[in-house]
Amino acid sequence: MKKEIHQHNLQDDGCCSHNHSHHHNEDDHDHGDSSALKTYFPAIFSLVLLLTGITLDYFKVDFFANYIRISWYVLAYLPVSFPVIKEAFNTIVKGEIFTEFLLMVLATIGALALGEYPEAVAVMLFYTIGELFQGAAVNKAKSNIKALLDVRPDVASVFRNDKYETVKPETVEIGEIIQLKAGEKAPLDGELMNESASFNTAALTGESTPKIFRTGETVLAGMLNLDKVITLKVSKNFEDSALSRILEMVQSATSRKAKTELFIRKFAKIYTPIVFFLAVALTVIPYFIIADYQFSTWLYRALVFLVISCPCALVISIPLGYFGGIGAASTNGILFKGSNFLDVITQVNTVVMDKTGTLTHGVFKVRELKTEIQEADFMSFLASIESQSTHPIAKAIVSYYGDEKLKEVSNVEEIAGHGLTATIDGKKVGAGNTKLFRKLKIVYPQEIDKQVETIVLLAIDQKYAGYVTIADEVKTDAKAAIKSLHDVGVNKIVMLSGDKTSITEKLAKELGIDQAYGDLLPEDKVKRLEEIKHDQTRVVVFVGDGINDAPVLALSDLGIAMGAMGSDVAIETADVVIQNDQPSKISTAIKIGKATKKVVYQNIALAFGVKAIVLILGAGGLATMWEAVFADVGVAFLAILNAIRIQKMKF
C-alpha cells in the first residue's frame, strides 16, 4: 500500500504528465539529492544553454554562427523536448493523435525549421518548468496523505513463546497481545489491557488534545502512546484496521472524478484537434486572400497559435484543485472518498441527522436529581443498588456517584423491564421506572408521569424517596454545528431517532433543529428520508454512525459517517467520513467543497480568458512565440498557485 498511493497520478488519463514518472513519485526522494538532480537537470541544462545562446546572439559574437549556433540550440532543445516527443509518440501509437504533446512538438519543430531557435527551446523549457511546478504542487497536496502513511508503524511487538517478538503487523492475528512503549504508535486496532493510558489521536482525528483510554476500550492503529508501556489485545487484522481503511479510501478518492474534471478531459480531446485544424487554416487560407502572402510569416503565426492554445493549464489545475480540496479536508479530519463528492456537497440544502452518536455522545449521564431525603443518603442507596446491574443507565448512576463509597447489598432481585429490589442497611430498597413502583404499589408524585427524559425512581421501605433523570450527553459543539449549517445555506435540518419522541423533540428545540421525529425503527428512517427526497429541489445529506444508519446513508444524495465511534458498516457506506465525531465538521466539509469549486472555476476563467486574448493577438501577428509561452506556462503556473491556496485556507 505504501507504494501504490504515490503512483496515483492526478492525470491518469495521460494528460499533461510527461515527466510524472520521475518527479511525482515521492518514493524517489528516498534516493536523496540524486533524485532531485535527475528531475531538475534537463531543465537546468537547457536553461543555461538557452541564456548563453541568447547572450551570444545579443552581442553578435563571431564564432556563434551557422552550424555552431544551430547545434547549440538543438543541444539545448533535446533534453527538455525528448520526454514530450516520447509522450507524443506513445499517444499516437495508442490511437490518440491530437494531444497537447503533438501540438508542442509540431510548434517547436516548425519554429526550428523557420530558424526561430531560441523560441523553440523556450517553448519546451517553460513547458517542462511548468510540469516541475505541477509535480511540486501535487507532492504538496499529497503531503497530508503521506503523513497518514507515515503514522502506520512497520513493526509490532507481539507476545509469543513467553517473550515479545518483533514481527510485521500483517502477521499478527486477532486475540494476540502486542506491547507499545511510550512514544510508539499502535500498529493494529486493539483493546487496552492496562487500567488507563493516554494517546495522541491526531493522525486519525485531527484532534491535538491527548485522549485517555480505559481498560477494554479500543485503541486504533496510528494512535501514539504518550506515557508508559502498555499492552493491547488485537481486535482486527492489519488490513481491516481503521487506518488501513482510511488509506484505502484516500487512495481510491483520487480516481473518483468530479463532473467538471471529466468535462475538461473530454473538452481537451475535442478542443485539441480543432486547434490543430485552425492552425492549418491560419497558414493556408491567407494564401488565397492576401496579395503579398509569405508562407513563413503565416506558419509562424500558426505555430504561435498552437502554443497558446495548449490546454495544459486546464488539465493540470482542475484535478489539482480537487486534490487540494481532498487534502485540506483530511487536514481538518474529514475524509472525502472522491472529488465528485466535493461537488455534491456544494449543492446541499437539507441535512438529515441521527441523534445518538451524531449529536450526542451515546453515553448516559445523570442530569437532574430530586429527592425527599438527604441527597448524600439518596445517592448512596441508589448507587449501591444500581451497582448490581450491568445496564448502561445503572453504570451511569454508579459512575456519577463513584464506586468507593458503596454500601453492602443483599437479596438482590432484578425484574426485567422494571428495575431492581434489594436489602441495604436492613432496609428494603427498590430502584427502577414507574412500572416498578406501580407493581410494588408504591405511591409517587403524578407529575413524574409527564417527565420527558429517562427517569430512575428510588423507594426505601415502600416509601418514595426521589428520582434522577438520565440523559445522553449532547456533544459540546452540537448547537454551534446546527447554527453553522444554517449559516452555510442549509435551509432544512431534520433529526431522526429511535429514542422517545418527547426526548427527540426537546433536544431539537434546544439545538435549533427545524424538524424532529422519534420512536423510529431503521425502516422508518428510510421511509422518512424517502418522503423528504420526494421534493426534487432537495439535495439531502444524511449524517449517522450506527449499523442501522447504513440504509439511509446509501439512500441519501451524500452520506456522512461519524468515523471515530461509528460502525464499520456506516463508514463503508458513507461518501464522507468525519474522523473526530464532531458535528461542527459537517459545515466545515461544505465550506471546503465550496472553496474548492470556487478555485476550480477561477482557474477555468483564468485559462480561457488569457488564452482568448493572446490567441487573437497571435492570429493578428501581434504576439510572438515568447508571449505564447508565457500565456501557456504563465497561466498554468498561476492556476497551480491558486489550487495550492486551498491547502492554506482556514475553515
Question: pLDDT, tens digit, for every residue of 240-263?
Answer: 876 677 666 655 665 676 788 788
**Cα three-residue angle 256-561-318, rounded to 5 degrees:** 25
Confidence of residue 80 (pLDDT cuts 50, 70, 90): very high
Mean pLDDT of 277-288: 93
The per-residue pLDDT for range 354-405, each reduced to its tens digit, is 887 789 887 788 888 999 999 999 999 999 999 988 777 888 899 888 866 7
Confidence of residue 18 (pLDDT cuts 50, 70, 90): very low
Please determine, for residue 312, whether its predicted confidence score (pLDDT) is greater than 80: no
Please determine, for residue 6, whether its predicted confidence score (pLDDT) is greater than 50: no
Q: At the topology level of CATH, where does 156-239 sit?
A: 2.70.150
255 vs 115: which has the higher pLDDT: 115
Q: In the chain, what is the greatest distance between 2 CA atoms, to the nearest angstrom?
A: 121
Q: Rounded mean pLDDT of the chain? A: 84
The per-residue pLDDT for range 604-613, each reduced to its tens digit, is 898 888 888 8
Q: Which three cell numbers stand for residue 461?
A: 421501605
The per-residue pLDDT for range 440-497, each reduced to its tens digit, is 999 999 888 888 778 899 999 999 999 999 888 889 999 999 999 999 999 999 999 8
Burial class, 383, CB count within 10 angstroms (exposed 0-12 / middle 13-18 / buried 19+): buried
Q: Which three cell numbers stand for residue 428?
A: 428494603
Find all residues with CB under 8 Å of 194, minimum gap 6, and list them.
215, 228, 230, 231
- Do the Cβ atoms of 382 and 397 come closer than 8 Å? yes
Mean pLDDT of 133-144: 66
Return the CA Rg of the chain.
34
Cα–Cα distance for residue pair 578/490, rounded to 1 Å: 18
The per-residue pLDDT for range 517-570, each reduced to its tens digit, is 987 877 888 899 999 999 999 999 999 876 667 788 888 999 998 876 556 666
Instruction: Using the structure block, give the residue that is written with the C-alpha cell 511525482.
Output: 24
User: Domain map of the chain by residue range?
Assistant: 4-148+257-326+594-648, 156-239, 334-359+475-579, 362-474
Q: Which three cell numbers stand for residue 282?
A: 491560419
Cα–Cα distance for residue pair 326/308, rounded to 1 Å: 31
Mean pLDDT of 38-49: 92
At residue 371, the pLDDT reads: 93
Residues catalogued as catalytic: 354
Superfamily of domain 362-474: Calcium-transporting ATPase, cytoplasmic domain N (3.40.1110.10)
At residue 203, the pLDDT reads: 63
Please determine, for residue 406, whether its predicted confidence score (pLDDT) is greater than 60: yes
**Which of 73-87, 559-573, 600-614 is predicted least confidently?**
559-573
Provide the percentage of residues in the chain whose pLDDT is more than 90: 42
Cα–Cα distance for residue pair 490/596, rounded to 1 Å: 18
Query: What is the CB-side half-sphere exposure of residue 498 using CA atoms within 13 A?
Result: 13
End-to-end, the C-alpha distance of the chain in Å comes to 30
Cα–Cα distance for residue pair 333/648, rounded to 1 Å: 15
Please determine, for residue 5, whether its predicted confidence score (pLDDT) is greater than 70: no
Confidence of residue 161 (pLDDT cuts 50, 70, 90): very high
At residue 441, the pLDDT reads: 92
At residue 424, the pLDDT reads: 94
Please determine, for residue 19, whether its predicted confidence score (pLDDT) is greater than 70: no
Provide the percentage of residues in the chain whose pLDDT is more than 70: 87
CA distances for 613 relative to 53, 104, 270, 308, 626, angstroms: 30, 20, 21, 10, 15
Helix residue spans in 94-201 (DSSP H): 100-113, 117-150
At residue 26, the pLDDT reads: 39
Mean pLDDT of 184-205: 84
Mean pLDDT of 192-210: 76
**DSSP 3-state assignment of 27?**
helix
The CATH number assigned to the domain with range 334-359+475-579 reads 3.40.50.1000
